[in-house]
Amino acid sequence: MKALFLAAIFLFSLPQAFASDKHVNISLKGTKFIYPLPVGWCDITQTESGINALSYLQAVNNQADVGINVRLILKPCKRISSAYPWAYVALSELDKFSGSSQYVFNQTMKRFLNTGFPDEVLDSLSKSVSDNSKEMFDVEIKSDSSAVNNSVILKSDDNSLSFYAEQTSKVGGEILHEFTLTSLTTVKGKSVNTYYFNDVTESYYNTNNVKLLIENAKNIAELNRRSDK
């Protein structure tokens, strides 16, 4: 949904500098986290395109009030100037969930995925996407936010909950099809969320990145649980 227009930002606002360090430090309300960059991926948050993408994503999430704090914008280091693929990293509180362990979090999220997210939440998110894309970029985005209800769970363990979906949206009159992966890891009473987006036609590339990002969830969990001791 909101991700589709962001691809255009990367295409027309090429980053001039980016970080390829192995780890990035991020924080939420004084709690610090270590985010290990997936192999072959770079942090472009401080570039022009990264700043634009982060501002838009945070505006969408703020208006929809989904409790997500966007922290990083990522791109494959060898495909910095391409529209796809890309990803963003966000942090969120776990206050709305009945517990902060990975197991309890996974069970709660699975119930949402199985029964469907409330219509008011999905409608609010779709409206926020439309409002902010018009205000910030003068482009209309019509998205099917219910695509998340058709998600397929790929992995659920002590390190993360990972699931994917395919979604179709209309951006300025053009129909776009995306593959999305969501990977959620709970550490320090919060959730570290990685959201990946690519064209659905790049199936081989998506398969490789899915494996990479699920493996990275283990790194996120281990690094942050170790640093918390």
Long-range contacts of 141-144 (CB under 8 A, 24+ apart): 141/1, 141/2, 141/4, 141/5, 141/169, 141/170, 141/171, 141/172, 142/169, 142/170, 143/1, 143/2, 143/4, 143/167, 143/169, 143/170, 144/1, 144/168, 144/169
pLDDT in tens, 168-216: 877 777 888 889 999 999 988 889 999 999 988 888 888 999 999 999 9
What local confidence, expressed as pLDDT, does residue 217 receive? Answer: 93
pLDDT in tens, 126-141: 898 889 888 888 877 7
pLDDT in tens, 63-86: 998 889 999 999 999 888 888 899
Q: Please give the model's pTM, rounded to 2 decimal places.
A: 0.88
DSSP per position, the chain: -HHHHHHHHHHHS--S--B--SEEEEEETTEEEEEEPPTTEEE-TTSHHHHHHHHHHHHHHHHHT--EEEEEEEEEGGGTTSS--EEEEEEEE-TTSS--SHHHHHHHHHHHHHH---HHHHHHHHHHHHHHHHHHHS--EEE-GGGGGG-EEEEESSS-EEEEEEEEEEETTEEEEEEEEEEEEEETTEEEEEEEEEETT-HHHHHHHHHHHHHHHHHHHHHHHHHT-
What local confidence, expressed as pLDDT, does residue 71 receive? Answer: 96
pLDDT, greater one: 3 or 150:
150
pLDDT at 2 > cutoff 70: no
Q: Which of 6-15, 151-160, 208-217 has the lowest mean pLDDT?
A: 6-15
pLDDT in tens, 12-38: 444 444 555 688 999 988 889 999 999
Q: What is the mean pLDDT of residues 53-58?
A: 93
Q: Which of 98, 87, 101 is nearest to 205 (CA)?
A: 87
pLDDT at 154 > cutoff 50: yes
What local confidence, expressed as pLDDT, does residue 21 receive? Answer: 61
Share of the chain above pLDDT 90, in %: 39
